[in-house]
Structure 1
Amino acid sequence: MSPPPGRPAGGAHRSRRDGGHALSGERTTSPLPPAGAAPLQSQETRGLLLGLVGVAIFALTLPMTRLAVGTPEAPLMSGLFIAMGRAAVAGLLSAALLAWQRAPLPARADWWPLALTAAGVVFGFPLLTSWAMRYVGAVHAAVIIGLLPLATAAAGALLHRQRPAGAFWACALLGSALVVAYALLRSGQEGLALHPADLLLMAAVVCAAGGYAWGGRLAQHMRADAVICWALVLSLPATLPLALWSWPRAALPAAAWGGFAYVAVFSMWLGFFAWYRGLALGGTVRVSQTQLAQPFLSMLFAVPLLGERLDAVSLGFGLAVLATVAIGRRLPVQKR
């Protein structure tokens, strides 16, 4: 009996192989569209749109983390609980989703990339930003995190064996210098000294860039939602005990729990469904540049949520960092 139209023989195997090219419930006839249909342009456009959806979700992460962690004068949740708790909640949701989907186990070759993805986006970025956000405002942090698009593009280029032009790396260095200059200017200390929180945020950028690049690579042959779900489930033996151990002992305001709920369900879980799918469709180097909008969105969200002030200096440095990323995005990238 021949297979129905649009579905190749060996459906289960085909679904496994093409999982990175379809969301839940979609059918795919082939990873390559028919000739003459301008497939690359359409695929990149869809990837960019999905990337923007992920960025809009991620943009609220810093303000919501600030709501949950509090300030040095009025501390709320610990950074450890926010990071591990959000990962544990998302991990339990992931386990339930994978069980409901009866998802197959990842291939043996995928476990190590999944571990690297988890190291960057489940442990590194959440821990470092949660610790830092008690000591710096969301507007300040948004400028430093504004370096993430260029860092992600650089990590993607290295991982996918691409060779950006020398001017691309010049833009990366210029952007880094602007970020360091802003952190020095706003450190609040005498002399040229970085606040430890600024160093944590810069390290968080490195972690996120690596996690995005590895996750985007996995999403080329795995379902995009499965990438983050398996990374979270793989992390549960560490995140769940640490979350329970660091559970807040004192009563906390509803706003703190609301911020925690957002970073657990949206920042740590649902946002990655769109983000990794976008990276797989449009390419890590290109789609990473949709993060250009993230610092501005984070700053804008911080004003009504936290009552912070968007001053001309922060806005100016944010624009300058984004300009270096925009220039770097236009420079040629060749395969090695």
Structure 2
Amino acid sequence: MNKTMIGWASSWASGLLGVIIFSGSLPATRVAVLGFDPLFLTVARASIAGVLGGLLLLAFRENLPKRSELKGLFIVAIGVVVGFPLLTALALEHITSAHSIVFIGLLPLATAIFGVVRGGERPRPAFWLFSVMGSALVVGYAASQGMTASPKGDLLMLAAIIVCGLGYAEGASLSRRMGGWQVISWALILSLPLMLPLALYTLPAGFETVDTGAWLGFGYVSVFSMLIGFVFWYRGLALGGTATVGQLQLLQPFFGFALAAMLLHEPVTAGMMAVTAAIILCVAGARFSAGRSGAPATVGQDLRRSSTS
């Protein structure tokens, strides 16, 4: 019983720490783009994380991915290594991180939808009803802010959520066979031959105008958002199960609001909180309607892999 309780506490602690780390991504990106070009920020953070991921793989002597896994790894790379960081960096040139966090409320829903599409499942009609309601809330919120926010920034955030949802869904499927942190590390490695030359090509001529805040944001998204967050997040999923610990992702927007208010002093309105809470209720309803997902037979494999991290 004691071991069970310790395992339960460890899974939730790891998952919660991963969510908290991811919650700082948008505020950190918002600060970083004040000093760095969005393209350079995207390729440089991926390059740094790729080198670190490669060192992890070498240290634990991980096997090379199978040929059948390469397609999925490329999808993960396109979604979470390139697509989401670049699109959010571009969006945050036009909107505040607090405004962008509202869209993050749709990320669990996007992940679930891609999981259904790629998994060939047929959820109940209620799933699609909640999906449409959640999407309508985001679109309605963005439209209501049209006079004070940027439609371009909103569209970029919607695109970021779509590609990230695809990358998350594919990564969740691969992690059942490869292990969570191994998936993100190999996706980073596959991206490195493109990201590193681009980072050198887009390297600014000088950094005299880059302040301390931008450097801190750059370091955070390079090390924590791109790699360390995934280590804790996937470890929690492996120990406690995707269906259970995965619900912690619903807390991410609220952690993001708190960080945006405390660190960037951005206004977090009651409307933002209300819309985000309503979106999360839709996401929870959609997930419940879709039924439980997961692969119990592979949890032991993920647990053995995660224990090494």
Q: Could you state the TM-score of these two structures normalised by the residue count of structure 1?
A: 0.79
Q: For 2:175, give the aligned amino acid.
A: A
Matches within 5 A, 1:2-21: none
Q: Is the 8 A contact 1:224 1:274 kept in 2?
A: no
Q: 76-85 or 253-262, which moves further after superposition?
A: 76-85
Which of 210, 234, 255 is matched with 1:276 structurally? 234
State the Cα distance separating 1:106 from its structure 2 match.
1.0
1:243-271 Cα deviation digits (max 9, x unpaired): 12222334210110100100000000011
Which of 212, 216, 228 is matched with 2:172 structurally? 216
Match in the other structure for 1:82: 41
Change (3 A) 1:332 1:69: closer
Distance 2:111 2:238 in 1: 14
Which of 298, 303, 317 is matched with 2:275 structurally? 317
Which of 53, 58, 83 is matched with 1:99 structurally? 58
Match in the other structure for 1:66: 30
The sequence identity of aligned pairs, in percent, is 44
Q: For 2:83, give the aligned amino acid.
A: G
1:260-299 Cα deviation digits (max 9, x unpaired): 1000000000111122334455565655432211111111
Which of 75, 86, 93 is matched with 1:127 structurally? 86
Q: Is residue 191 of structure 2 the alignment partner of residue 235 of structure 1? A: yes
Q: 201-210 or 221-230, which moves further after superposition?
A: 221-230
What is the DSSP-based 3-state SS (H/G/I as helix, E as strand, rest coil) of the residue aligned with 1:220?
helix
Distance 1:204 1:98 in 2: 28
Which of 142, 151, 155 is matched with 1:195 structurally? 151
Q: Is the 8 A contact 2:15 2:233 kept in 1?
A: yes
Match in the other structure for 2:77: 118
Match in the other structure for 2:100: 141
1:50-105 Cα deviation digits (max 9, x unpaired): 433221110000000011112xxxxx211111111110000011112222222221
Q: Could you state the TM-score of these two structures normalised by the residue count of structure 2?
A: 0.86
Which of 251, 256, 261 is matched with 1:303 structurally? 261
Q: Is residue 222 of structure 2 the alignment partner of residue 264 of structure 1? A: yes
Q: 318-327 or 200-209, which moves further after superposition?
A: 318-327
Q: 89-98 or 320-329, which moves further after superposition?
A: 320-329
| Greater per-residue helix proportion | 2
What is the DSSP-based 3-state SS (H/G/I as helix, E as strand, rest coil) of the residue aligned with 1:331?
helix
Query: Once superposed, what is the RMSD of the aligned Cα atoms?
Result: 2.6
Q: Is the 8 A contact 1:163 1:333 kept in 2?
A: no
Which of 238, 243, 251 is matched with 1:293 structurally? 251
How many residues matched?
291
Distance 1:111 1:331 in 2: 32
